[in-house]
């Protein structure tokens, strides 16, 4: 045997071998049927990694701002209060944090998956009907999330008065931070910071990485529930975390139905973009600031729209059909794309007139209720 000849080592897989490890040891078809990682322990490590990445990015941005302020001869004590910080420094702090974390996320996932990123995430373009459904879900989800936030705030504020230490959590509330950011920078810059970076980075971690492993191992209900709870937890503030939980569940459901990573990215982006634009308009007093409860009619229209659009999404869900006519499955629930050598074709419920009519009627009904609500508050 030549010294430079490749050596193939086959390691036995036992019940004691973690699935994350076997995923790297064996690329055979048999190994591909094993539920992929991450399992629950690794998922918690990924969540901890998100917190760590934000902390490290914040330190880097802080150092950069201190250096810039020192070079400009400015008073460094301004850093003690964000309200006193110059707008450009505030944008550097927030934007630098988001984009540095996104870069770290790309690197971590590249190391974890290697060349399989495209297949595991499934970067297939969205079908037009699915894109329309995702867009149609944005406002109904926003209404329900906002109403959840409002109701829980009624409980949270008295609790903070009783336990002042909880006020520290209010200082980290992304909703309040959005209000501060809305007064600084241009709208395109704010969208890049608040909508683009989180939509890509958080979807890579919580739907692409963590969600893929947990759904494969815990099934639809368990996997979506756990990954969505983790997604909510990284928003840190209890009220904000509870308000984004329904959005997290919706993000994962549309990912599994469309089998395209761009579906949750689009919904996440549009949700954050809508919040950014609405906050900016409220700051500029272009629209009235509405803090009252949403009307029962609007809430009912929102729920109805979500149920109907969700049903359309399920009826037209994406499936992969093998040349022999059977549906491809790796042996576990997943949104990933089958290997190209299998020759599978994309199939799904047809975009029939009935599906289009259902989606259109639900959206039209919601739009009427939404516009009526805006008009009523404007008066």
Whole-number Å distance between alpha carbons of 306 and 267: 13
The alpha carbon of residue 320 and the mean position of all alpha carbons in its chain are separated, in whole angstroms, by: 25
Is the Cα torsion angle 309, 311, 315, 321 positive or negative in sign?
positive
Tens-of-pLDDT digits for all 379 residues of the chain?
444 443 333 334 333 333 333 333 333 344 445 788 899 999 999 999 999 999 999 999 989 988 888 887 777 666 656 556 677 777 888 889 999 999 999 999 999 998 899 999 999 999 988 999 999 999 999 999 989 988 998 888 888 778 777 776 766 666 666 666 666 677 888 889 889 999 999 999 999 999 999 999 999 999 999 999 999 998 888 888 999 999 999 999 999 999 999 999 999 999 999 988 887 776 665 444 445 678 889 999 999 999 999 999 999 999 999 999 999 999 999 999 999 899 999 987 766 778 888 888 888 889 998 888 888 876 6
Dmax (CA) of the chain? 88
pTM comes to: 0.85
Task: Pinpoint the alpha helices (H) of 33-127.
Answer: 40-71, 87-113, 117-121
Is the Cα torsion angle 291, 295, 298, 304 positive or negative in sign?
positive
Query: Are the C-beta atoms of residues 337 and 122 closer than 8 Å to each other?
Result: yes
């Amino acid at each position: 045997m030549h010294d430079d000849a490749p050596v193939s080592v086959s390691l036995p897989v036992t019940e004691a071998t973690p699935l994350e490890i076997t995923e790297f040891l064996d690329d055979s078809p048999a190994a591909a049927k094993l539920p992929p990682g991450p399992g629950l322990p690794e998922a918690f490590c990924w969540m901890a990694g998100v917190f760590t990445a934000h902390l490290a990015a914040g330190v880097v941005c802080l150092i950069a701002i201190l250096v810039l302020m020192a070079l400009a001869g400015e008073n460094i004590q301004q850093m003690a209060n964000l309200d006193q910080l110059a707008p450009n420094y505030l944008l550097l702090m927030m934007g630098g944090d988001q984009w540095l974390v996104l870069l770290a996320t790309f690197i971590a996932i590249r190391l974890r998956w290697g060349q399989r990123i495209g297949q595991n995430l499934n970067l297939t373009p969205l079908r037009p009907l699915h894109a329309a459904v995702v867009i149609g879900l944005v406002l109904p989800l926003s209404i329900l999330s906002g109403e959840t936030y409002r109701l829980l705030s009624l409980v949270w504020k008295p609790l903070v008065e009783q336990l002042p230490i909880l006020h520290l959590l209010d200082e980290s509330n992304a909703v309040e931070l959005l209000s501060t950011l809305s007064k600084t920078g241009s709208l395109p810059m704010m969208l890049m910071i608040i909508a683009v970076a989180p939509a890509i980075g958080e979807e890579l971690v919580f739907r692409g990485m963590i969600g893929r492993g947990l759904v494969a191992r815990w099934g639809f209900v368990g996997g979506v529930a756990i990954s969505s709870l983790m997604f909510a937890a990284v928003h840190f503030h209890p009220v904000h975390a509870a308000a984004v939980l329904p959005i997290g569940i919706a993000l994962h459901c549309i990912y599994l139905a469309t089998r395209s990573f761009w579906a949750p990215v689009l919904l996440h982006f549009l949700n954050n973009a809508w919040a950014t634009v609405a906050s900016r308009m409220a700051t500029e007093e272009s629209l009235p600031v509405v803090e009252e409860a949403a009307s029962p009619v609007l809430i009912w229209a929102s729920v109805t729209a979500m149920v109907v659009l969700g049903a359309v999404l399920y009826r037209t869900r994406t499936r992969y059909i093998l040349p022999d006519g059977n549906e491809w499955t790796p042996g576990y629930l997943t949104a990933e794309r089958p290997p190209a050598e299998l020759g599978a074709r994309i199939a799904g419920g047809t975009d029939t007139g009935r599906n289009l009519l259902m989606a259109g009627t639900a959206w039209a009904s919601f739009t009427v209720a939404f516009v009526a609500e805006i008009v009523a508050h404007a008066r």
